[in-house]
């Protein structure tokens, strides 16, 4: 039994006439009669009484109609749902992000744009450090993530660079390098003036790219930084800086935050940068994931100065 048999049967049942049903379906009356006879043969009982003025449902036909009437609409809805899913317009998407990515304006811009474009997709947001996010992507616990990339990232992941963000110095508000008027505070800071300070960084095991970028920045101007108290999250880094445990180097987007006890200063000369990428599995990424990556790339133009 095929769906067309059901459509033909419903047309005859509603029109109560083979000729009118054939015209409605756009086929000839003899082929329609033949298809109905095939359906009756398959079911094993007569569905219509052929009468002079057309056709009348038998009790079996009435029972059959009550059951199959919604089948064409159900099938059409199923086709529509499948096509929407194939286009990545429905479903559930788990999105990971690092703490510093969450504070970059690109992330809320991407989420806002994605929700407006694909309102029927259910988003699940997961915040973790880059190491956890990478593992979750590889193992399939996450679909896509916005994170800081490192050279050691797994090859099975595709990473599309969104932005390169400069690092800035995060200093205790009472630090000599944070003093002065607005003009002084706006001038770039020579990183060398911090060479005697303890640097509060994320451990490399949980934040490879940011940790390595900070070390590379110090080495580029001629000194090996003295590592102070490690902090696993950006919030704890800034809290320790405010408590005068030391200084840090953080992504420039954090400089827009008003953190009591912390001053942010741009750096002089070769500005160190950290990247931000959208990452997902290389092998057969679902359209839903590709849609999110596309929206994230487009959000870049909305947040760059």
What's the pLDDT score for residue 54? 86
Digits of tens for pLDDT over the chain (305 positions)? 889 999 999 999 999 999 999 999 999 999 999 999 999 999 999 999 988 888 999 999 999 999 999 999 999 999 999 999 999 999 999 999 988 888 888 999 999 999 999 999 999 999 998 889 999 999 999 999 999 998 888 999 999 999 988 899 999 999 998 887 665 567 889 999 999 999 999 988 888 888 999 999 999 999 999 999 999 888 899 999 999 999 999 998 888 888 899 999 989 866 678 889 999 999 999 999 999 999 999 998 765 55
Q: What pLDDT sits at residue 271?
A: 67
**Domain 163-274 classification at class level:** alpha beta
Cα distance between residue 162 and residue 275, in whole Å = 8
Q: 88-162+276-303 maps to which CATH number? A: 3.40.190.10
The CATH number of the domain covering residues in 3-84? 1.10.10.10
Residue intervals in the chain for CATH 3.40.190.10: 88-162+276-303
Outline which parts of the chain fall under CATH 3.40.190.290: 163-274
Q: Where does CATH 1.10.10.10 sit in the chain?
A: 3-84
Residue 183 has a pLDDT of 56
């Amino acid at each position: 039994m095929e769906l067309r048999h059901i459509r033909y049967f419903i047309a005859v049942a509603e029109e109560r006439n083979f000729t009118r049903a054939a015209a409605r379906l756009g086929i000839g009356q003899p082929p329609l009669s033949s298809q109905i006879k095939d359906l009756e043969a398959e079911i094993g009982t007569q569905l219509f009484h052929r009468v002079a003025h057309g056709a009348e449902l038998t009790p079996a036909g009435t029972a059959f109609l009550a059951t199959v009437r919604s089948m064409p609409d159900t099938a059409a809805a199923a086709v529509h749902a499948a096509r929407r899913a194939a286009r990545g317009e429905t479903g559930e998407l788990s999105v990971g992000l690092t703490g510093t990515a969450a504070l970059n304006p690109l992330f809320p811009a991407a989420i806002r744009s994605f929700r407006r474009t694909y309102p029927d997709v259910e988003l699940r947001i997961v915040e973790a450090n880059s190491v956890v996010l990478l593992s979750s992507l590889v193992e399939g616990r996450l679909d896509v993530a916005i994170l800081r990339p490192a050279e050691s990232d797994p090859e099975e992941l595709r990473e599309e660079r969104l932005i390169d963000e400069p690092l800035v110095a995060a200093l205790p508000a009472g630090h000599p390098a944070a003093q002065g008027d607005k003009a002084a505070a706006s001038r770039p800071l020579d990183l060398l003036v911090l060479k005697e300070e303890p640097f509060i960084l994320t451990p490399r095991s949980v934040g490879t790219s940011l940790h390595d970028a900070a070390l590379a920045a110090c080495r580029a101007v001629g000194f090996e930084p003295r590592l102070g108290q490690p902090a696993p999250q950006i919030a704890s880094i800034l809290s320790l800086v405010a408590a005068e445990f030391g200084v840090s180097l953080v992504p420039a987007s954090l400089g827009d935050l008003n953190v009591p006890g912390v001053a942010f200063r741009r750096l002089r000369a070769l500005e160190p940068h950290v990247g931000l990428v959208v990452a997902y599995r290389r092998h057969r990424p679902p359209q839903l994931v590709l849609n999110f990556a596309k929206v994230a790339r487009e959000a870049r133009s909305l947040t760059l100065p």
